[in-house]
Chains A and B, each alone.
Chain A
Amino acid sequence: MKALRKFIDKQKPHFEKGGKFQKFHSAFDSVETLFYVPDKVTAAGAHFRDAVDMKRTMIVVFMALIPALLFGMWNIGYQHFLSLGESPDYWTMFFYGFLKMLPIIVVTYGVGLGLEIVFAQIRNHDVNEGFFVSGLLIPMIVPPETPLWQVAVAVAFAVVFGKEVFGGSGMNIVNPALTARAFLFFAYPSEMSGDKVWISEMADTFSGATPLGDALVGNFDNMPSQWNMFIGLLPGSVGETSTLMILIGALILLATGVANWRIMFSVFAGGYIMGLLFNLWGINDYMLMDPLNHLLLGGFAFGAVFMATDPVTGAQTNKGMYIYGFLIGVIAILIRVFNPAYPEGVMLSILLMNVFAPLIDHYVIESNIKKRLKRMKAVLIKNQ
C-alpha cells in the first residue's frame, strides 16, 4: 500500500495547477480519493453531516451487491448448462457466467465513467462517485446476452439524460441505473423481454420463460418451489434472481446505515398487501398466487433493496418514505397482474415513484408546518 501512496504522490504535481496534465486533474483526483480518504479540510464552516464521505458510502453499496453478483454469475452458468442438459462442476458454471458478465461490466464502466469525466471537465467540477454503484447495478439488471453496443447506448443515455442534464450526481430525478434499463426495455424490446433472452446460449427446445412470464400467460405448471425462488435458481437478470443473496446485501446496507429500513420495509409491505388483496379478489389464477411468491420472484427484492432506497431519488422525510415505498410495492404488483404487456412492473413503479417523491415530501412537510402552526395558535390563544 505504501508503494501506491508513493506513486500517487509522485504523479500529483503533474496534475496540479501548472502541471503537464492539469486538464485531467479531475480524473486523477477521482483515482486518488478512491484509494485514500482525502486530506482536504473545509476551511470555513463545516458542511458535512456525517464523517463518512460519498466514496465510502458507495463502496458499502458496492460490497452489498457482491453476493448477488457472484451468485448471479454462477446462475448464468447453471441455467445455461441446465438448458443443455449438462451438469458440470461449480467452477465451470461460475466461470462461464463470469465471462458473460465481464464484458458488460467493463463496457458499462468504460462508457459511464468516460462520459462523467468529459462532463466534469466541461463543467469544471470533480468527477463524482455517483456512477460507481450505477455502473455495477446496470449489468445486474439486464439479461446476460444483451449486446454490448446496446449496453453502451443505454449507459450513455442514462448518464447524459438521467443525470448530467439535471446537474450530475445528487441532482437527478430518476434512478440512472433504472433509466438505462428502461431505455433498453423500450428501445430494444426483443433483447429485453420474452422467453428467449434470460438464459444465455439456450438450447432451442428449452423453455426459457421466467416464472413471471409464465404466470402472465396463465401457465402455472412450471412454477418453481418457494425454496428455489428464495435461493434463486431461476432464469432472469443477473442480480435479481436470488432473494437470499439480496437479503445478505440488505443486511449490510441496514447494518451500516447506508440504506433506510423504512423504504425497504414499506416496499415489501406494499407488495405483500397488494398480493393479499388480489388473493381476496381472486378472479384468475394469477391473482390467487401466494403473495410471498410476488416478493420472491422477478426483480422485486432487488428493486426494494438497491433501487428504491437510493437516497437521491427516493423520498427524504420519514413519513414520505413509508408512502413512497408502499406505493412502489403496490404499483409493481398491479402492473405485474394487470398489464399484459409487462410481465415485470418493479422498474416502472420505482421510476414512477421517483418522479413523485419530491411531491410526497412537499406535502409531508406542508402538513407538518400546518400542524405546528395549529399548536402555536393554541398556545397563543391560551396565553391571551
Chain B
Amino acid sequence: MSAEIKEREPLFSAKNMKLIKNPINISNPITVQVLGICSALAVTAKLMPAIVLSISVIVVMAAANVIISLLRDGIPPRIRIIVQLVVIASLVILVDQVLKAFVYDVSKQLSVFVGLIITNCIIMGRLEAFAMSNKPWPAFLDGIGNALGYGIILVVIAFFRELLGSGTIFDFQVIPQAFYEFGYQNNGLMILPPMALITVGVIIWVQRYYTRDLIEKN
C-alpha cells in the first residue's frame, strides 16, 4: 500500500469558493441559464415574498444537494429522478410548514409557489448535474451558490417592481406624497408579469454589458 496521504483540501479553497461565486454571476441560473423564470415572474410583485421565497429556495437547495450527495452511491441510476423528487418534496413540505407557522401572511401571498419549488428546474438541474457526482461539502456550496444567484435576481426584480409599481419598499411608502400631488402615478404595468420579464431582460442586458464573456459569438 502506498503511504501517500492525500492532502486534504481546505474547506474554503479557491475551487470551492468558485462554486459559490460562479452561479452569482457568470453562470447565473436566471440570467444565463434562463431557468426558474416562472417563479421569478410570479412572486416578484412585492419585495417581501421574493425574499422569503429566495430564503426557502436556499434552504431547500442546500439541504437537497447535501442529502443527494450523501446518498449518491446508493441511488440506483434508473430511479434517481424519483429519489431526487422525494427528497426535494419532503424538504419543501418542511419549509412550507415553517413558513405557515412563523410568517403566515407571506406564506399566504406565496400560495402555491412554495409548493412549486419542487418543480423549480434549478434544483433538479443542480442535483442531476452536481450533487450526483460530488462530495457533500462541494454540493452544499454549489446549492447555496445557485440558490443565491437565483435569489439575488429575484430580489432585484422585486425591488424595482415594488418601487415603481406600488411606490413602496417592504410596504413602506417611499415615493413621497408630494409626487402624487404633482400627478405622479404608480405604474400599473409593473405589477403585471410581462414587466417582470422585461426587467429580467434589462438585468441580462446590464450583466452582459459588464461581463463581455457572456455575449454569444455568431
Contacts and interface: CB of A to CB of B under 8 A. Distances in A.
A190 interface: yes
Nearest to B190: A187
Contacts of A191: 185
Nearest to B205: A165
Interface in B187-210: 187-190, 192, 194, 198, 201, 205
B192 A190 contact: no
A183 B183 contact: no
Nearest to A192: B188
Contacts of B194: 186
A187 B187 contact: yes
B188 A186 contact: yes
Contacts of A183: 189
Residue among A150, A165, A186 with most chain B CB within 10 A: A186
Given A147-B183, A149-B183, A161-B198, A189 B205 contact: no
Interface in A180-209: 183, 186-191
A183 B188 CA distance: 9
B185 A190 contact: yes
Contacts of B192: 186
Contacts of A147: 183
A256 B168 CA distance: 53
Contacts of A188: 185, 187-188
Residue among B188, B190, B201 with most chain A CB within 10 A: B188
Interface string A145-189: 001011001000000010001000000000000000001001111
Interface string B27-59: 000000000000000000000000000000000
Nearest to B182: A149
Nearest to B185: A188
A121 to B, nearest CB: 16
A187 B205 contact: no
Contacts of A150: 185
Nearest to B198: A161
A183 B192 CA distance: 11
Contact of A189 (B183, B184, B188, B201): B188
B185 A186 contact: no
Given A147-B183, A161-B198, A186 B205 contact: no
A342 to B, nearest CB: 14
Contacts of A189: 188
Contacts of B201: 161, 165
Nearest to A188: B185
A281 B217 CA distance: 55
Interface in A77-93: none
Residue among B183, B189, B201 with most chain A CB within 10 A: B189
B183 A186 contact: no
Interface string A136-152: 00000000000101100
Contacts of A186: 188-189, 192, 194
A115 to B, nearest CB: 15
Contacts of B198: 161
A165 B184 CA distance: 27
A149 B188 CA distance: 15
B4 to A, nearest CB: 57
Given A161-B198, A165-B201, A187 B188 contact: yes
A292 B198 CA distance: 39
Contact of A187 (B183, B184, B189): B189
Interface string B163-192: 000000000000000000001110111101
A43 to B, nearest CB: 26
A191 B183 CA distance: 11
Nearest to B194: A186
A308 B201 CA distance: 27
A64 B184 CA distance: 35
B183 to A, nearest CB: 6
A274 B10 CA distance: 72
A238 B189 CA distance: 24
A347 to B, nearest CB: 14
B123 to A, nearest CB: 31
A189 B190 CA distance: 12
A166 to B, nearest CB: 11
A190 B187 CA distance: 11
Contacts of B187: 153, 187-188
A279 to B, nearest CB: 35
Nearest to B202: A161
A183 B201 CA distance: 17
A147 B183 CA distance: 8
Given A187-B188, A187-B190, A189-B188, 9 more contacts: A147-B183, A149-B183, A150-B185, A153-B187, A165-B201, A183-B189, A186-B188, A186-B194, A187-B187
19 contacts: A149-B183, A149-B184, A150-B185, A153-B187, A161-B198, A161-B201, A165-B205, A183-B189, A186-B188, A186-B189, A186-B192, A187-B187, A187-B189, A187-B190, A188-B185, A188-B187, A189-B188, A190-B185, A191-B185
Interface of A: 147, 149-150, 153, 161, 165, 183, 186-191
The 5 closest A-B pairs by CB, nearest first: A187-B189, A186-B189, A187-B187, A187-B188, A188-B185
